[in-house]
A = this chain, B = another copy of it.
Amino acid sequence: MSLSFGRDLYLTPGPSVMPDSVLAAMMRAAPSIYDGPIVDLTESIVTDLKTIAGTRHQLAMYIANGHGAWEAALENVFAPGEKALVVHTGNFAQSWANVAERMGIEVSYLHFGTDRAADAAVLAETLRADATHGIKGVFCTQTDTASSASNDIPALRAALDAAGHPALLMVDCVASFACERFEMDAWGVDVMLTASQKGLMCPPGIAYVFYNEKAEARARPKPDRAPYWDWTDRANPGLYYQYFFGTTPTHLLYAQREALNLLLAEGMENVFRRHEIFAQAVWAAVEVWGTAGPLRLNVTNRAHRSRAVTAVRAKGVDCFALQKWLRHKTGLTLGKPIGFDTPEFGNGAHAFRIGHMGHMNPPMLLGGLSSLQAGLIACGIAHGAGGVDAAVQVIAANA
């Protein structure tokens, strides 16, 4: 029988769990979108997002999702035919690159597989080989939402510097923003993009692109940019409507304001530390389960792992059946595997993802892991005993 009558739990890597007060903040009329309180509210969001991003530079906001953010970043920087180098550590780097290719950008790849972070030395070497500095931008994810590999952004920055290469460093923080530390200015990132529905705990619908003066200076000429994506007026609006090039997303902004209030009240250092502990708890459980059966953390090197999402491989296991059982029997939804659609992974059947980002506490996280353990038992999937116990230990030791 189904026991799923209760509040559904989504351990998916976004849209993440939204706090009640974030949803309640949308229970109001739309305001005037030309003046009045919405103006101050919007400005305050810009200010707080820059603080979390560690930047004093520019922020352009879009009514869009992460794909829109990708296109926005590329459209401002690259003309068709210009060259980009993709630091490829998973499916989302590839998807971003796909967008670039469709936009006529000449994309080359540094492939590092889908189970580890990029090797900065390889990047440095590649850039040194680009003696004419034909590569205009290097782009990568901080966390690849699909592989759950996380790159060492300062190391990649150092690689550019070591190679003396002027390319822009562009980072996708969709899966990691407000979960893992990111210091745009201190780390020398030129363009960074993210969205509202993961660490920022809001409904999907707002995309954010941060950029610095160097990016603006090297950007494609403004007249050549698509009007919707042009970042300059959005970042420096003369009139309020220019923030979002037309009608402002009133209710999503109400939600975002409340979510930022919650994050800042917790304190970003606490937020980062909390995600660190939750990631360790997830890893501990999966590693114990893996001692007697096919479950494996996709990213073996601890230093390369995301603190917001964890991809799990399960050779030979029918993970679709597991996920179906969990959803229908317990109310738990795990993340669908992405980028595991090769025969090795049973075309996605032999993997799943656990999201542990955003509005998350021990009852939610451990409730998910415990239910997953119940699913392993019920679906007859071999696993070492004590996985949840190991996660519990991590929580007990760190709370």
Contact = CB atoms under 8 A, between A and B. Distances in A.
Interface string A1-36: 111111111101011111111011111111111111
B399 A374 contact: yes
Contacts of A64: 63-64, 68, 228
Contacts of A378: 396-397, 399
Given A270-B5, A371-B395, A374-B362, A30 B197 contact: yes
A325 B398 CA distance: 12
A362 B330 contact: yes
B366 A228 contact: no
Q: What band does the interface of chain A fall in when counting residues whose beta carbon is under 8 Å from B?
A: 35 or more
A3 B274 contact: yes
Interface in A362-399: 362-371, 373-375, 377-378, 385-386, 388-389, 391-393, 395-399
A293 to B, nearest CB: 15
Interface stretch (A118-126, A129-137, A244-252, A311-319): A244-252
Contacts of A68: 63-64, 228, 245-246
A103 B12 contact: no
Given A63-B64, A103-B227, A364 B6 contact: yes
Interface string A272-294: 01100110000000000000000
B369 A65 contact: no
Nearest to A369: B370
A361 interface: yes
A90 interface: no
Interface string A172-197: 00000000000000000000000101
A278 to B, nearest CB: 8
B362 A331 contact: yes
A299 to B, nearest CB: 22
A336 interface: yes
Contacts of A67: 227-228, 245-247
A93 to B, nearest CB: 15
Contact of A26 (B31, B203, B223, B392): B203
A388 to B, nearest CB: 5
Contacts of A386: 389
Contact of A360 (B5, B65, B98, B195): B5
A363 B364 contact: yes
A161 to B, nearest CB: 32
A50 to B, nearest CB: 22
Task: State the copy count for this chain.
Answer: 4
A65 B65 contact: no
Contact of A5 (B18, B26, B251, B274): B274
Given A251-B203, A363-B367, A395-B330, A7 B33 contact: no
A177 to B, nearest CB: 14
Given A228-B71, A247-B15, A10 B29 contact: yes
B374 A102 contact: no
A29 to B, nearest CB: 6
A373 B395 CA distance: 10
Interface string A23-58: 111111111111110000000000000000000000
A27 B30 contact: no
Contact of A392 (B102, B251, B370, B397): B370
B15 A65 contact: no
A327 B35 CA distance: 12
26 contacts: A5-B262, A5-B274, A10-B32, A21-B27, A21-B28, A23-B27, A24-B24, A26-B26, A63-B204, A65-B247, A66-B246, A66-B247, A102-B223, A195-B247, A204-B247, A331-B362, A363-B367, A363-B368, A363-B371, A366-B370, A366-B374, A367-B370, A369-B370, A373-B392, A374-B393, A389-B389
